[in-house]
């Protein structure tokens, strides 16, 4: 199970900051007998409790939080997992998120998304940074790649085509911790949008992404970022 309590204060029109508490209990795992996790040598492979206090700050100048055409979104967060809080593991997690949106011409929006996830200390397996999924590096399975650190960026061009229909093209990359080109993960792809609510800019999203030796299809409501 998991529990989250976030307390944020508004300092001006765009800036918010506050505190966060996270509690997570992971248990009852099952593994294939011949795989590395089954040996028990991986931190967190048998489960455990993650309990952390964190600091969160955001800057948000987007014109629409669901599907922005203009503006920026920046978020910093840092969490401290410690036995003093009841955690089974002692480690620190630092996150940065930066999105930009610009309408380069009527109906054409260029959006960018950059993320950083850094983990230091006794990091359990399920708390490691992930690459892939429906938001970042579309084309890779969400839980296929894990590492202590993640740095990635992507860009997406969103084009209104006809009435409620639109199309997008996207490309992104993720750098491994030791920055080797043969381990660099990339993603390219495209998709179709249908506006469920034009006034709120709420879209149904159909995407297909290709990565290094893999590909995936995605169906959801709202944009990837």
Over the stretch 162-181, which tens digit does the pLDDT of each residue have? Answer: 999 999 999 999 875 555 55
* Nearest C-alpha neighbor of 170 from the set 184, 195, 185, 187: 187
Q: Specify the pTM.
A: 0.91
Q: Is residue 99 very low, low, confident or very high in pLDDT (cuts 50, 70, 90)?
A: very high
For position 178, what pLDDT does the model report? 52
Q: CB-based contacts of 7: which residues, under 8 Å, 6+ apart? A: 18, 19, 20
For position 145, what pLDDT does the model report? 85
DSSP letters for 55-124: EEEEEE--S-SSS-SSEEEEEEEEEEE-GGGT-SS-EEEEEEEEEEEEEEETTEEEEEEEEEEEEEES--
For position 44, what pLDDT does the model report? 86
Beta strands in 122-164 (DSSP E): 129-131, 145-147, 149-162
d(CA 202, CA 200): 5
d(CA 220, CA 161): 20
Please list, residue by residue across 61-87, b when 16 or more beta carbons sit within 10 angstroms of its beta carbon and e when fewer do. Answer: ebeeeebbbebbbbbbbbbbbeeebeb
Tokens 């495209």 belong to which residue? 190
Which helix (H) or strand (E) is 10 found in, with range? strand 2-10
Range from 23-32, 104-113, 117-126, 193-202 carrying the lowest mean pLDDT = 23-32
**Is the pLDDT score of 39 beyond 80?**
no
Query: Any idea how long the chain is?
Result: 225
User: CB–CB of 196/204 below 8 Å?
Assistant: yes
The side-by-side arrangement of strands in the sheet containing 71-81 is 2-10, 15-26, 48-60, 71-81, 91-105, 108-121, 149-162, 165-175, 185-197, 202-211, 214-221
**Is the pLDDT score of 18 beyond 70?**
yes
**Is the pLDDT score of 46 beyond 90?**
no
For position 42, what pLDDT does the model report? 83
Structure-block tokens of residue 24:
């997570």
**Is the pLDDT score of 182 beyond 70?**
no
For position 179, what pLDDT does the model report? 53
Q: Is residue 41 very low, low, confident or very high in pLDDT (cuts 50, 70, 90)?
A: confident
d(CA 31, CA 141): 18
């Amino acid at each position: 199970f998991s529990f989250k309590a976030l307390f944020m204060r508004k300092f001006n029109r765009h800036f918010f900051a506050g505190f966060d508490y996270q509690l997570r209990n992971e248990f009852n795992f099952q593994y294939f007998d011949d795989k590395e996790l089954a040996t028990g040598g991986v931190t967190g492979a048998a489960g455990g409790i993650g309990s952390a206090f964190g600091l969160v700050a955001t800057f948000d100048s987007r014109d629409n939080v669901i599907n922005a055409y203009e503006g920026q979104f920046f978020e910093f967060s840092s969490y401290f997992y410690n036995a003093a809080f009841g955690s089974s593991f002692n480690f620190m997690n630092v996150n940065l998120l930066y999105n930009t949106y610009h309408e380069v011409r009527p109906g054409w929006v260029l959006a960018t998304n950059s993320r950083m996830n850094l983990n230091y200390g006794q990091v359990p397996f399920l708390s490691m940074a992930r690459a892939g999924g429906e938001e970042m590096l579309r084309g890779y399975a969400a839980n296929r790649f894990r590492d202590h650190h993640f740095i990635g960026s992507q860009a997406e061009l969103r084009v209104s085509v006809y009435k409620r229909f639109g199309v997008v093209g996207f490309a992104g990359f993720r750098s491994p911790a030791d920055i080797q080109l043969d381990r660099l993960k990339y993603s390219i792809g495209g998709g179709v949008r249908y506006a469920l609510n034009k006034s709120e800019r709420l879209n149904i999203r159909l995407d297909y992404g290709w990565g290094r030796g893999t590909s995936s299809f995605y169906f959801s409501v709202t944009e990837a970022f």
